[in-house]
């Protein structure tokens, strides 16, 4: 790809849109486990990571698993879903937010989103609720909290469970409550581009002991007594009381997660600082163009800014996407609406036009680089590239 008019690109080397943040202390934490040569799979660092994460957010129970998808699957299984059951989920998210419902044989019912936040729209949920509805999955898109006040009103009215998919928002708080305490079950992800990482991994939070015990057993093949419980009683005997999966996370990854967790507040602060710099620059750009062309998401609630998403008004998204890549700026699109993937079209008869706002937004969105180790030069390069590309194509209209 060539830069605009065949000129020099803003950057010669591609700037990633997202990247893990690692330092020497993270490497030391990993090597400490490896050097001990004791546990590599489930060991003391799993329990330590769960304890630290539980204390961090204020939840009663925490369960570490090997991915955010595993966390969602565990959450759904704990609700004892039947094939006749339905779960309402946002239409615009990563596919795992709905796949976890399908794993349990239940039916995902897709709900439209708020155009300005891209979170699930509480005003559109009630018409989707039937006698078969068991839960609502709310995704904190881009790291911004959903409107949990309204979600809880609906949940209480119709006796529903709320599952918070907090893969983007872990680490933030509202009114002295942290993510992990806003829903019946909260799941998060520690994929490398998330707010903190364990390479691959996830965590589940709940205050409900019954749900926790179901998820804990499901994490380990449906076995009721793990090795620690058997050691305490000096017994070898265990039973598989339900069908489960191996969703355990290695000890070495939990040592990394424990070390990362203590740095999370600083990283989220930095993410917000970068987002504010982008906001200011794009406000200035729109003002100079005398029209809103680059529109960031509206911030109604605290956000971790896991990703920085803009909507483009009056410009072709894919053209701008390719032009920014040619300028050396790594971009992405989050996300194609779940129900527009071929699997859902084929198996659930979903189709274009189901969720007008989600589809309208999808055609306009681009994700720009944002991670804590972006330098000031990196930030300025992103701003300069957006300015250059947008002005060029505006002038072409």
Q: Quick check: 339 and 348 in contact, CB under 8 A?
A: yes
pLDDT at position 15: 98
Rounded distance, CA 306 to CA 195, Å?
Answer: 6
Closest CA to 65 of 219, 181, 208, 266: 219
pLDDT at position 49: 98
Q: Count CA within 13 A, CB hemisphere, residue 253.
A: 21
As to burial, measured by CB atoms within 10 angstroms (0-12 exposed, 13-18 middle, 19+ buried), residue 48 is middle
User: Strand 61-65 to strand 202-206: parallel, antiparallel, or no bridges (unpaired)?
Assistant: antiparallel
Q: Read out DSSP for 237-250?
A: ---B-S---B----
Residue in this structure with the two tokens 């039973």, named with its chain if needed: 239
User: What CA–CA distances, in Å, run from 359 to 85, 107, 310, 351?
Assistant: 26, 21, 15, 11
**Backbone phi and psi for residue 79, each to the nearest 5 degrees, phi listed first:** -90, 0
Same fold, 24-263 and 265-396: no
Distance of CA 349 to the CA centre of its chain: 26
User: Strand 365-368 to strand 308-312: parallel, antiparallel, or no bridges (unpaired)?
Assistant: antiparallel
193: its two tokens:
């581009």
Give SS3 for 365. strand
User: Strand 61-65 to strand 86-90: parallel, antiparallel, or no bridges (unpaired)?
Assistant: unpaired
Long-range contacts of 51-56 (CB under 8 A, 24+ apart): 52/258, 52/261, 52/262, 53/180, 53/203, 53/205, 53/257, 53/261, 54/180, 54/205, 56/178, 56/180, 56/261, 56/264
Rounded distance, CA 49 to CA 44, Å?
Answer: 9
Tens of pLDDT, residue by residue, the chain (397 residues): 668 877 899 999 999 999 999 999 999 999 999 999 888 888 999 999 999 999 999 999 999 999 999 999 999 999 999 999 999 999 999 999 999 999 999 999 999 999 999 999 999 999 999 999 999 999 999 999 999 999 999 999 999 999 999 999 999 999 999 999 999 999 999 999 999 999 999 999 999 999 999 999 999 999 976 666 666 677 778 889 899 999 999 999 999 999 999 999 999 999 999 999 999 999 999 999 999 999 999 999 999 999 999 999 999 999 999 999 999 999 999 999 999 999 999 999 999 999 999 999 999 999 999 999 999 999 999 999 999 999 999 998 8
Closest CA to 42 of 348, 249, 324, 310: 249
For 274-288, letters b (16+ CB in 10 Å) and e give: bbebbbebbeebbee
Say what the pTM is: 0.96
Q: Count CA within 13 A, CB hemisphere, residue 246.
A: 3
43: its two tokens:
């060991």
Q: Count CA within 13 A, CB hemisphere, residue 34.
A: 8
Q: Quick check: 279 and 98 in contact, CB under 8 A?
A: no
**How long a stretch of residues is the chain?**
397
Residue in this structure with the two tokens 């355990």, named with its chain if needed: 248
C-alpha dihedral (240, 209, 154, 297), degrees to nearest 10: -90
C-alpha dihedral (136, 137, 139, 140), degrees to nearest 10: 60
| Residue 352, beta-bridge partner list | none
Q: Quick check: 205 and 61 in contact, CB under 8 A?
A: yes
The CATH architecture to which 265-396 belongs is: Alpha-Beta Complex (3.90)
Q: Quick check: 314 and 286 in contact, CB under 8 A?
A: no
Fold of 24-263: 3.40.640
**Backbone phi and psi for residue 57, each to the nearest 5 degrees, phi listed first:** -100, -15
Give SS3 for 19. coil
Q: Domain residues of the chain, as ranges?
A: 24-263, 265-396
């Amino acid at each position: 790809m060539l830069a605009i008019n065949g000129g020099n690109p803003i950057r010669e080397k591609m700037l990633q849109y997202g990247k893990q943040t690692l330092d020497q202390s993270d490497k030391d934490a990993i090597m400490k486990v490896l050097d001990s040569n004791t546990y590599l799979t489930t060991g003391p660092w799993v329990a330590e990571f769960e304890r630290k994460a539980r204390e961090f957010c204020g939840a009663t129970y925490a369960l570490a698993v090997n991915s955010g998808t595993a966390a969602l699957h565990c959450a759904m299984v704990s609700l004892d879903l039947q094939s006749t059951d339905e779960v309402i989920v946002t239409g615009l998210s990563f596919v795992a937010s709905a796949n976890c419902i399908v794993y349990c044989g239940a039916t995902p019912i897709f709900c439209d989103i708020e155009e300005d936040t891209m979170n699930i729209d509480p005003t559109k949920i009630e018409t989707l609720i039937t006698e078969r509805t068991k839960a609502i999955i709310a995704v904190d898109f881009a790291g911004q909290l959903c409107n949990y006040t309204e979600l809880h009103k609906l949940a209480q009215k119709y006796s529903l469970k709320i599952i918070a998919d907090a893969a983007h928002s872990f680490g933030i708080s509202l009114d002295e409550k942290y993510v992990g305490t806003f829903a019946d079950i909260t799941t998060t992800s520690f994929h490398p581009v998330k707010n903190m990482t364990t390479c691959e991994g996830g965590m589940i939070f709940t205050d409900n002991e019954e749900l926790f015990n179901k998820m804990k057993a499901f994490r380990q093949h449906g076995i009721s007594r793990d090795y620690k419980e058997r050691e305490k009683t000096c017994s070898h005997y265990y039973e598989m009381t339900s069908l489960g999966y191996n969703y355990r996370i290695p000890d070495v990854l939990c040592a990394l997660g424990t070390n990362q967790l203590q740095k999370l507040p600083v990283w989220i602060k930095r993410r917000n600082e970068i987002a504010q710099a982008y906001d200011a620059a794009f406000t200035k750009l729109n003002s100079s163009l005398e029209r809103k062309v680059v529109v960031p998401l509206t911030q109604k609630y605290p956000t971790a800014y896991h990703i920085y998403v803009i909507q483009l008004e009056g410009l072709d998204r894919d053209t701008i996407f390719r032009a920014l890549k040619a300028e050396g700026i790594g971009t992405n699109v989050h996300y194609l609406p779940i129900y527009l993937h071929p699997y859902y079209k084929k198996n659930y008869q979903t189709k274009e036009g189901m969720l007008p706002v989600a589809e309208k937004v999808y055609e306009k969105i681009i994700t720009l680089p944002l991670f804590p180790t972006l330098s000031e030069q990196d930030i300025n390069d992103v701003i300069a590239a957006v300015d250059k590309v947008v002005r060029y194509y505006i002038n072409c209209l």
